Structures are given as C-alpha cells and as structure tokens.
Amino acid sequence: MEQDKSIDRRTFLKKTAVTSAAFSAPTYVPQKAFGSNDRIRAAVLGLNGRGKSHIEGFMDQENVQVTTLCDPDSKILAERATDFSSKYSKSVKTEKDLRKVFEDKEIDVVGIATPNHWHSLATIWACQAGKDVYVEKPGSHNVWEGRKMVEAAQKYNRIVQHGVQLRSSEAIREAVDHLRKGTIGKVYMARGLVFRWRGDIGKKGVEPVPNNLDYDIWLGPAQQRPFSRDIVHYNWHWNWEFGNGDVGNQGIHETDMCLWGLGVGLPEKITAMGGKFLFDDAKETPETLCSVYHYPKEGKLIEFEVRPWCTNLEDGAGVGNIFYGSEGYLVIKGYDKYEIFLGRDRTPGPSREKGGDHFQNFIECVRSRDASKLHAPVESAHLSSALAHLGNISYRLGRVLEFDPATERFKNDEEANRMLKREYRAPYVVPEQV
C-alpha cells in the first residue's frame, strides 16, 4: 500500500509540474481603461460554428478589431482567415493554441466558441491573463467548474458575458418586466422548450487523426481517446465527455430564460427521465428528455422538455419558453418575440418582436469597466448551465435528487456529488484555486 501511495504522489507531482509549466498566469493584472476612441483588439477561439458569429459580432462594433483567429484545426483556421481577409480587406493573425492567444498582451478581449468542455478553463485562463471574455453557452461543462469561472472573473475583475442573446433583446427584456409587474398575475411555473431536428449521426468508428487537427489541444481537459468523426466536429454535443446534450446546447438559452423570468436560482429537487427512442447511433446523450426542477420555498416549478424529431409546436413555440401565472400566460418565441394571453378565453395581451445587440452590451461594459451593466453576467452563466447539468445528472442516475443551492452540493448523495465535477487531463486542468 505504501508503494502505491508513493506512485500516486509522484504521478500527482508530475501532473502538477506539467500543468504549471504549460500556462503560468500573472498574479496581478493591471486594469486597462478604454475611451470611446480607443480600439479594442479581439481574438476569437473556436471557428467551426458560433465562432463565425463572434467574428461578425466584434467586427460590427465601433473601434473593435478582430486581430487573431484561433482553432486547433488548421484547415478551418485557414478557411476563416481567407474569409476574413475577403470580407474585411484586412489580414488576421492565426494561432492553433489558445494559450498563445492568452500570452499575447496586445489582445484585450476574447470570444470563446470552442466545444463545451473547454469553456470554463478557457474563460479562467483568459481572466488570469487579463482578458475580458464573451463565452458561448453553456458557460461550463459541469457545475463545479462553473463556480470556478465565477471566482476567476471576480478575482481578476474581468468583464465576462455569457452568449445568451435573449438577454439583450428589447422584446424579451420587456417580457421579463411584464412578469415582474404582474401582467399575468402570480407567476408560478416556467416551461422550457427545445424541439430541434436532430437526426441519426451513424456510427463512424475510430480512425487516424487527420493531419490538419491538433487533437491534443482539441481534447483539452477531456480524457484521451481515439479520434472519431462521431465527435469531431459538431457531434461532440451528444457525447458526455465533451457536450451536454441539447438541454446543454440550444437549451441553455431556455434554462437561462426560465431562471431569469421566474427570478430564481438553483432548485432543491430535480428529476429527469428520457432516452434514445429513434436512432441506434453514436449519440450518448438522450434524444428525448423531460426534466422537472422544484423550488418549494418559492412555490415555483420549472419544466423542461427536449424533443428531437417530428413534433407539434406549443402556441407556436418550438424553441422558447412559456410562463404561467394566475391571470394568464406568456410565450417566448425564439430569441426576440413574446406574446401574452389572458384569462380563460386566452385573450391576446401585449406582444412585441424586437432584437438587440449582445456584443454591443459586452463592449460597452468593457469600456466602462462596469460589470453590473452586463445583460448576461458570469454568475448567470454558471446558474443557467448548472440547471442543465443537474437535470442531466438526475437522468443519468435515474432517480430524484435533493440539492442544496447554498453549498451547490447534493444532500447525502456522494454518487451524485461526484458527477458535479470531472477528471481533468493535465496540463488542461481547472485549478482548485483560480
């Protein structure tokens, strides 16, 4: 036994040394003030999906310049750099390793559009390196690292915006005001809807890593495994090691909306049920998932449903939310529209469709250094992501779970508590002390 302990200690020390050598963050990050005429330099990390929207979102802002594009896939990186030069008539620096981006003192802000398993660690490293962050949803891959992301933003006084665009929509902000002032009466329940067309992804098996991909960086915090096109690129969403299913994909917009609209945090009781009923493919996460989150002290409830295929809409909403009150209900349709129906006859009430600019809100807060003006601050990123994670844990364990929102731990359930965190692969480790 003593020999085993010695081996474990040597392994731990070796991993710790590798981690420290890989990326050393500054212990003090000086604040940089931006005037209205000062140019903000941005980098975008992860370019296969939402990263394209990040490039456009930053470049649409006044006195903001995307100077660096980063992706471990050199083929995608070259394509985006070519597209950038063609569209904006400017060259852009390219980098495959995000750690090199954080080391670049010329970069002020980063947009993180990597796979989910990278979001929290990339945000923490960026904060430690003195960068402000716009991070895609979900903010975290698990509950524990989401809290660490909050701690890093607060410790280093960084501006961190979560990529849930509903928060900046003028119409949706008006809808929340209706919920607050009692337009539909006492609001007691929210329903989140994610009805997306998700087909059979097949079973492609393993194969050699393509020459254009730095697979070690792509894996990052995840455990080593053979390369497969079942996960790279987009289908990682349906694998627990990298993604969180659709409740932790599209669903984060709606989990965030549920929490925001009801004015609640994390629940005390969670149950979830679902499965794969249509396709015999490589997806690990459930195609269909029904989750319920109970708030006994507040007298409120959240219902959340993911459907993958042929389905009806609910009052016209296939992706959105429904809030129920004593005098009526309010429907959120997509990202920028709401409708209210009142009384037994469902009499139409106020409605509106009007978007907003989430990147503009982020840049304004970067200039002012006022995180209180963020529409989707880092704490909300943690909570909305954690709600999805709690439902997934209940589904995977197959039982009702009791949770303490104050400690962010399950009550008397160590098996469930172990699922609040993951095993990290050195040197890509979320630290205990950020």
Res 37: pLDDT: 75
Q: Are residues 198 and 327 in the same domain?
A: yes
Give CA–CA dist 49/83, Å, rounded.
14
- Mean pLDDT, rounded, for 318-325: 98
Give CA–CA dist 201/246, Å, rounded.
14
Mean pLDDT of the chain: 93
Q: Are residues 279 and 244 in the same domain?
A: yes
Burial of 178 (0-12, 13-18, 19+ CB in 10 A): buried
Res 195: pLDDT: 98
Q: Are residues 264 and 123 in the same domain?
A: no
> 319 in a domain, yes or no?
yes
> 10 in a domain, yes or no?
no
- Mean pLDDT, rounded, for 221-231: 97
pLDDT at 83 over 60: yes
CA-nearest of 247, 297, 293, 264 to 179 is 264
Tokens of 369: 């250094």
Tokens of 394: 């209940």
pLDDT at 86 over 50: yes
Q: Which structural domain, as residue segments, surrounds residue 310? A: 170-355+388-415
Res 34: pLDDT: 79
pLDDT tens-digit readout, 294-307: 999 999 999 999 99
Res 155: pLDDT: 98
Q: What is the CATH number of the domain that holds 78?
A: 3.40.50.720
Res 31: pLDDT: 58
pLDDT at 11 over 90: no
Q: Are residues 398 and 275 in the same domain?
A: yes
Q: In this prediction, what percent of the chain has a pLDDT beyond 90? A: 91
Q: Are residues 333 and 366 in the same domain?
A: no
Q: Are residues 264 and 408 in the same domain?
A: yes
> 177 in a domain, yes or no?
yes
Res 121: pLDDT: 98
pTM, entire model: 0.93
Q: Are residues 374 and 392 in the same domain?
A: no
Other residues' Cβ atoms within 10 Å of the Cβ of residue 273? 13
pLDDT tens-digit readout, 53-71: 999 999 999 999 999 999 9
Q: Are residues 265 and 148 in the same domain?
A: no
- 227 HSE (CA, 13 A, CB side): 14
Q: Are residues 363 and 238 in the same domain?
A: no
> 23 in a domain, yes or no?
yes
pLDDT tens-digit readout, 382-413: 999 999 999 999 999 999 999 999 999 999 99
Q: What is the CATH number of the domain that holds 277?
A: 3.30.360.10
pLDDT tens-digit readout, 164-175: 999 999 999 999
Contacts of 68 (CB under 8 A, 6+ apart): 42, 43, 44, 92, 93, 94, 95, 101, 104, 107
pLDDT tens-digit readout, 14-52: 333 333 334 554 444 455 677 767 999 999 999 998 999
> 7 in a domain, yes or no?
no
Q: How many domains does the chain have?
A: 2
CA-nearest of 405, 381, 388 to 167 is 381
- Mean pLDDT, rounded, for 230-250: 97
Q: Are residues 407 and 314 in the same domain?
A: yes
Give CA–CA dist 345/341, Å, rounded.
8
- Mean pLDDT, rounded, for 324-343: 98
pLDDT tens-digit readout, 132-161: 999 999 999 999 999 999 999 999 999 999
> 427 in a domain, yes or no?
no
Q: In this prediction, what percent of the chain has a pLDDT beyond 70? A: 92
Q: Are residues 406 and 366 in the same domain?
A: no
Give CA–CA dist 20/341, Å, rounded.
57
Q: Are residues 113 and 92 in the same domain?
A: yes
pLDDT tens-digit readout, 96-133: 999 999 999 999 999 999 999 999 999 999 999 999 99
> 9 in a domain, yes or no?
no
- Mean pLDDT, rounded, for 315-340: 97
Between these two residues, 331 and 20, which has the higher pLDDT value?
331
One-letter amino acid identity for 275? G
Res 35: pLDDT: 72
